[in-house]
Amino acid sequence: ATAPAPDMEGVTAALKAAMANGAPGAMARYVSPEGIQSRTVGVRDRVSGAAMDVNARFRIGSVSKTFSTVVLLQLVQEGKLSLDAPVNKYLPGALPDERITVRHLLTHRSGLADYTDAMFNSTVPGFEAVRNKVFSYQELLDLSLALPRTTEPGVSYKYSNANFVVVGMLIEKATGRPVADAYKRRIITPLKLRNTSYVHPDTRIKGLHVRGYLHPDEAGAPLVDSTEQTVSWAQSAGAVISSPGDLNMFTGALMRGRLLSPAMLQAMTTVTPTDATNTRFYGLGLRRYDLSCGTQIFGHTGTVQGFYTYAFSTRDGMRSLSAVANTSNHGAANTALGGTLEAAFCGKKPA
């Protein structure tokens, strides 16, 4: 069946709703065989008033988890790691439970607690305390291991950044090099993602970029410009910088089979439900959303101080949408931004 035309008015309405819920600006870029359509609203910089710009770069948060997963699955394809081997086989003594496997990390079923809940319980003080800090992977893992595990290994889905900190450790152990090199050599260079980078612990977003604005917990308190930070609290779980076009290319190329073998891509897109709605699922470092029109889309969401991101493609990689709003700690703005997905992939609602 031919895909419905995107409802770009609906995309714009969703972007405006994100602004109505506190985002200084927002944008979306949709790619299909019919071409590229992008929409921008508001500003990328509240001080200069510079308009949101679809060529601008921003922090993609947990969409980074899919970059890390692609690298790890390529290492599995190369026989350097096995999905169902214990993590401790590759990182002796790293985890207190020998039963936790590499696959448990990628499916958020390890039981390793998410240290960011406590770290950011008080949003702005928590952010200010770490924005210029540089953590080692081990320090982040220790924060998680100081907390009770959330499930027996493999039993249930419990989202945790700690899982993808360990994924970063596995990548560096298996390659003998920093994750930045693996992203570059295995994803950024082959796909020519010229606006994508991993610069941890540098705090800047170089080149044309979006400034991010963090909503404080106190109603009515002024937004906090959170653009410059190390994102060391996330690293391989959330520190990649990219652009709408590069994210379209990344998720599209991934689904078209340019990064992984058909068998490995099939494993990555084999999902289990993450909530009771049975429309949200998680595979290996990848979300699946089942839209109201029956279309299934695959990708990831991102939340990092000052930036909400969505980056999804259809299973055949022929249609891709990326969207970003330059605020965070404001769930209504995130939900509003998510409205771009239905508008773009399902088109106009029947009258």
Residue 328 is a binding residue for ligand REX (CB under 6 A): yes
Residues 246 and 51: their CA atoms lie apart, in Å, by 20
Closer of 4 and 22 to ligand REX (Cβ): 22
Q: Between residues 32 and 251, which has the closer beta carbon with respect to ligand REX?
A: 251
Q: Which amino acid would we find at residue 218?
A: E
* Annotation marks residue 322 as catalytic: no
Regarding 326 and contact with ligand REX (CB under 6 A), the answer is: no
Element (H, E) at 312: strand 307-314
**Site for ligand REX (CB under 6 A): which residue of 66, 322, 329, 340?**
329
Q: Please, what is the minimum distance in Å from the beta carbon of residue 126 to ligand REX?
A: 6
Residue placing its CB nearer to ligand REX in the complex, 95 or 234: 234
- What letter does residue 236 receive in the DSSP assignment? G
Among 123, 163, 197, 229, binds ligand REX (CB under 6 A): 123
Candidates 51-59, 91-99, 191-199, 303-311 — which segment interacts with ligand REX by CB under 6 A? 303-311
Nearer to ligand REX, 116 or 232 (CB): 116
Which of 62, 66, 68, 74 touches ligand REX (CB under 6 A)? Answer: 62
Q: Omega into 148 within 30° of 0, i.e. cis?
A: no
Candidate list 32, 38, 62, 64, residue with the active-site label: 62
The correct pick among 120, 151, 274, 296 for binding ligand REX (CB under 6 A) is: 120
Segment interacting with ligand REX (CB under 6 A) among 25-33, 165-173, 198-206, 295-303? 295-303
How far apart CA 90 and CA 72 sit, in angstroms, is 13
Long-range contacts of 216-224 (CB under 8 A, 24+ apart): 216/123, 216/124, 216/329, 217/122, 217/123, 217/124, 217/329, 221/124, 223/22, 223/24, 223/46, 223/327, 224/124, 224/127
Question: What is the C-alpha separation between 252 and 250, in angstroms, rounded?
Answer: 6
C-alpha–C-alpha distance, residues 249 and 196, integer Å: 11
Site for ligand REX, rule CB under 6 A: 61-62, 116, 120, 123, 126, 161, 214, 234, 237-238, 301-305, 328-329
